[in-house]
Chain A
């Protein structure tokens, strides 16, 4: 690794969580940003703070406004309203070529008429850096992504993975304070993507640059990010660490978008400070939650239950809530886990996953068996919207 590239003034931020510190100053401050294309609202009043050294993922489906937000940070789109501050400086009148920001494009946008070295050196030349220093830095960056010796290749002579890495170091060459990555792994195949994910995190930690990554792939977001912002229809639905987003989604759309969730609708019948009881026709019984939730008796609530948080058993459990009876419709063997599709007596279909601990299981639950799906008091998330 090139020593010069490592920011030695500041400890590596991998284990620190500045967003939990209310007094920390954010590095990127997005305040009430709205972007309209004609009548279409692409980004709707988004406010977001991102801290130095973070690897922040904007996660959302296509048309969720995540790329538009990224392009506004880079300066390619003007804001309809709101402000963006980077390192304390308002970016309103700063053109793209003067921002302390670099972007890695989804299509990589490597210049086809320049070789690898010229592509990487492009930004350095614009900064008026001497030829010798440019050569040194190009070597250093190529070394960083293990592509030394590829200087003279043209982009069309590289593989997809190599192009991706050249695009990454071209964006890193000017040592930006903030690197924006638009679907950085989107064009790679699954195997290469998994390898590259770890490399990306390693490079980010080594250099200490703040990364903002846009992706539609929740697995990618989970494995890369320090924090995730889930976007839907121009709104930020939830911001949190990967575990928070997965285990404590704050809405049905987040719960459904991240991983898979069984969603049950029900009404509050018992509302105490230490527990909550929801009657659900879909389950054909009650849901008992081991903590209080701010709600009113009779209110309709949703209960999101992850497939891996449910156990299956043949006998009726010895409890008055948190189970449902159904018939196994389908068993899908996936190697590491098996997924069971179970139709409850209400007609609702749920998914249950079970790790395949043993190599062979003669007594496994199979098609058409009547089973009980059982879960714990804290297994699912209660959602009010």
Chain B
């Protein structure tokens, strides 16, 4: 009876005919499911990236499109491939680009640190609050996303400018006599980035801290650790995955951020996103702009890959 059961049982799966149809072409459902995201990444990431690489290796001209093709047919029937690495050399030589890269990394790094310092207590508090208030607090964290990112950054201009909300308030109370220069400074850029990306730090931290077993904290207290010691020896080390995830989500977009430095930053706030923009639209030097983009990719991707390797190595220990 038992051995016969799988043979006699007819599964009612209405998509069965599809499976048969696909099998005729040597495909299975599994292949299809994997093919969908692969195709998506191919069309919208790999091919555009190849195009960017191609432009980065070509020479700029005043034409339309503003670069020379890589492959050329000569009259005597030969094909010539010209790879122009001068754009990358140019990046290395011109201090503007290196300064912009370094400054982007610096601003992204400190923004991440500030966001972490602000987000950690918030995430901890949300994770430790009662079930029903917890959902409301999480809602409040996500709420700003319902307003356009651009509008929120514009709103900060209204706060920070010379006759903005903050300066007007401070002058009316007599604390200051002249408006503080806040808009178009690096401070404003930090403020904008931290404000915008804070939810991306809070949410992974919250997810991590919410599953922290209270018994761990009690065990530490029981073994003689004061609350501070418990935090640094138990809570913090156990929340490292959350810290890493949140920091990545803030750091990576912050490096390439264009809107915030463009709107809130001053003329001396050099960030690679702005340089890229200027290269494309003001200089119309597409090859150099593409080279900048590729270099930026490596600047961001390499440390992440190293970090991931270090992480998986420490987990395997």
Q: How far is the CA of A111 from the CA of B225 in the complex (A)?
A: 13
In the bound complex, residues from chain A placing their C-beta under 8 Å from that of B229 are 126
Interface contact A113-B238, CB-CB below 8 Å: yes
B219 touches A (CB below 8 Å) = yes
Q: How far is the CA of A170 from the CA of B221 in the complex (A)?
A: 13
Interface contact B215-A107, CB-CB below 8 Å: yes
A333 touches B (CB below 8 Å) = no
A105 touches B (CB below 8 Å) = yes
Interface contact B237-A113, CB-CB below 8 Å: yes
B234 touches A (CB below 8 Å) = yes
Interface contact A122-B222, CB-CB below 8 Å: no
| With A107-B213, A109-B215, A126-B229 as contacts: A102 and B234 at CB distance below 8 Å | no
B218 touches A (CB below 8 Å) = yes
A12 vs chain B, min Cβ distance (A): 26
Q: A interface vs B, CB < 8 Å?
A: 74-76, 95-98, 101-103, 105, 107, 109-113, 122-123, 126-127, 154, 170-171, 173-174
Convert B174-213 into 0s and 1s, putting 1 for each residue whose CB lies closer than 8 angstroms to a CB of A.
0000000000000000000000000000000000000001
Contacts A97-B224, A102-B223, A105-B218 supplied; 6 other A-B pairs, CB < 8 Å: A97-B223, A97-B226, A101-B222, A102-B222, A110-B219, A126-B229
B230 to A, closest residue via Cβ: A97
In the bound complex, residues from chain B placing their C-beta under 8 Å from that of A107 are 213, 215
B317 to A, closest residue via Cβ: A154
Interface contact B219-A126, CB-CB below 8 Å: no
Q: How far is the CA of A102 from the CA of B317 in the complex (A)?
A: 30
B216 touches A (CB below 8 Å) = yes
Q: B interface vs A, CB < 8 Å?
A: 213, 215-216, 218-226, 229, 233-234, 237-238, 317
Interface contact A122-B233, CB-CB below 8 Å: yes
Q: How far is the CA of A110 from the CA of B234 in the complex (A)?
A: 11
In the bound complex, residues from chain A placing their C-beta under 8 Å from that of B221 are 75-76, 95-97
B96 vs chain A, min Cβ distance (A): 44
B314 vs chain A, min Cβ distance (A): 10
In the bound complex, residues from chain B placing their C-beta under 8 Å from that of A154 are 317
Interface contact A111-B213, CB-CB below 8 Å: no
In the bound complex, residues from chain A placing their C-beta under 8 Å from that of B219 are 103, 105, 109-111
Q: How far is the CA of A208 from the CA of B270 in the complex (A)?
A: 70
Q: How far is the CA of A171 from the CA of B216 in the complex (A)?
A: 13
In the bound complex, residues from chain A placing their C-beta under 8 Å from that of B317 are 154
Interface contact A174-B224, CB-CB below 8 Å: yes
| With A107-B213, A113-B237, A126-B229 as contacts: A170 and B218 at CB distance below 8 Å | no
| With A109-B215, A126-B229 as contacts: A74 and B220 at CB distance below 8 Å | no
Residue from the list A75, A112, A113, A170 in contact with B223, Cβ < 8 A:
A170
| With A96-B218, A107-B215, A109-B216 as contacts: A122 and B223 at CB distance below 8 Å | yes
In the bound complex, residues from chain B placing their C-beta under 8 Å from that of A170 are 223
Q: How far is the CA of A127 from the CA of B213 in the complex (A)?
A: 24
In the bound complex, residues from chain B placing their C-beta under 8 Å from that of A110 are 219
In the bound complex, residues from chain A placing their C-beta under 8 Å from that of B215 are 105, 107, 109
In the bound complex, residues from chain B placing their C-beta under 8 Å from that of A98 are 224
In the bound complex, residues from chain A placing their C-beta under 8 Å from that of B233 are 122
Closest 8 CB pairs of A and B: A123-B223, A126-B224, A109-B219, A109-B215, A96-B221, A113-B237, A97-B221, A103-B222
A98 to B, closest residue via Cβ: B224
| With A107-B213, A109-B215 as contacts: A97 and B225 at CB distance below 8 Å | yes
Task: Identify the interface centre among A74, A105, A109: most chain B CB within 10 Å of its CB.
Answer: A109
Interface contact A111-B224, CB-CB below 8 Å: no
Task: Identify the interface centre among B216, B226, B238: most chain A CB within 10 Å of its CB.
Answer: B216
In the bound complex, residues from chain B placing their C-beta under 8 Å from that of A127 are 224
In the bound complex, residues from chain B placing their C-beta under 8 Å from that of A113 are 237-238
Residue from the list A112, A122, A174 in contact with B220, Cβ < 8 A:
A122
B236 vs chain A, min Cβ distance (A): 10
A307 vs chain B, min Cβ distance (A): 39
B240 to A, closest residue via Cβ: A113
A38 vs chain B, min Cβ distance (A): 12
Q: How far is the CA of A154 from the CA of B316 in the complex (A)?
A: 11
In the bound complex, residues from chain B placing their C-beta under 8 Å from that of A101 are 222
What are 22 A-to-B residue pairs whose CB atoms are below 8 Å?
A: A74-B222, A75-B221, A76-B218, A96-B218, A97-B222, A97-B225, A102-B223, A103-B222, A105-B218, A107-B215, A109-B213, A109-B218, A112-B238, A113-B238, A122-B225, A122-B233, A123-B224, A126-B224, A126-B229, A171-B222, A173-B223, A174-B223
A118 to B, closest residue via Cβ: B233
Q: How far is the CA of A103 from the CA of B223 in the complex (A)?
A: 8
A96 to B, closest residue via Cβ: B221
A118 vs chain B, min Cβ distance (A): 10
B12 vs chain A, min Cβ distance (A): 41
Q: How far is the CA of A127 from the CA of B223 in the complex (A)?
A: 9
A106 to B, closest residue via Cβ: B215
Interface contact B218-A126, CB-CB below 8 Å: no
A104 vs chain B, min Cβ distance (A): 9
A107 to B, closest residue via Cβ: B215
Q: How far is the CA of A336 from the CA of B224 in the complex (A)?
A: 48
In the bound complex, residues from chain A placing their C-beta under 8 Å from that of B223 are 97, 102, 122-123, 126, 170, 173-174
In the bound complex, residues from chain B placing their C-beta under 8 Å from that of A111 are 216, 219-220, 234, 238
A57 vs chain B, min Cβ distance (A): 20
A379 vs chain B, min Cβ distance (A): 45
B316 vs chain A, min Cβ distance (A): 11
In the bound complex, residues from chain B placing their C-beta under 8 Å from that of A126 are 223-225, 229
B175 vs chain A, min Cβ distance (A): 42
